[in-house]
Amino acid sequence: MRRFENRVALVTGAASGIGRATAERLADEGARVALLDVDATNGQSATEGLKKNGYDCVFVHADISHEEQVRAAVSETASSLGPIDTLINNAAAFVFRSIDATAADWNHVLSVNVMGTAFCVKHVFPEMQRAGKGAIVNLASVSSFVAELNSLTYSTSKAALLGLTRCMALDLARWNIRVNAIAPGWVDTPQL
């Protein structure tokens, strides 16, 4: 039996890179997968590729920095595939600025990397709570731990994501929902 048989996974930032590879692996392991991304063209292409290989998946177009879009995406996923029990928060804004960062830079990087992740967990949580279990993985970064030149905005957002993960792990443990973060280094993806 495949490890994710009879599971439903929602993967954000799934149109390319780490998110797409994660969605493909989950599907290969038996999960029904929703690929969520703001990039409709590449998101649809990734989803069609999986469907051609016989996998049960859907594309959901959403910008996770907008809570109402997240709520609608979670609802669409559950309606199409069933209750979500796995959430991979991979979507990220790559804003590399230093002290010259504008309010728009800060708003963008924090609204996607921190608030968007929080919105996704908030709206998936009721389904996991009803099921009495769930697994959430947040994609942090080595930048969460290591300062890099001209990366004040991005590194701060990823450090905040670690704090968010720790708090969520404590808050959701009573419902048998695991919350973890992984911190990849530089990965050869289109974003890089």
What confidence tens digit (pLDDT) does each residue in 82-132 have?
Answer: 999 999 999 999 999 999 999 999 999 999 999 999 999 999 999 999 999
CA dihedral 12, 13, 18, 19 (to 10 degrees): 40
Rounded distance between C-alpha atoms, residue 27 and residue 56, angstroms: 7
* From 152, 154, 156, 172, the catalytic residue: 154
pLDDT at position 148: 87
Q: What angle (nearest 5°) sits at the alpha carbon of residue 98, between those of residues 180 and 70?
A: 40
Q: How confident is the model at residue 146 (pLDDT cuts 50, 70, 90)?
A: confident
The residue that leads in pLDDT, 43 or 191, is 43
154 is a catalytic site residue:
yes
Q: Is 59 helix (H, G, I), strand (E, B) or coil?
A: strand
User: pTM (2 decimals)?
Assistant: 0.94
**Residues 146, 112, 36, 137, CA torsion sign:** positive
Kindly report, residue by residue over 45-73, the tens digit of the pLDDT: 999 999 999 999 999 999 999 999 999 99
pLDDT at position 186: 62
Rounded distance between C-alpha atoms, residue 140 and residue 148, angstroms: 15
pLDDT at position 30: 97
The domains located in the chain, with CATH, are: 8-92+119-139+162-182 (3.40.50.720)
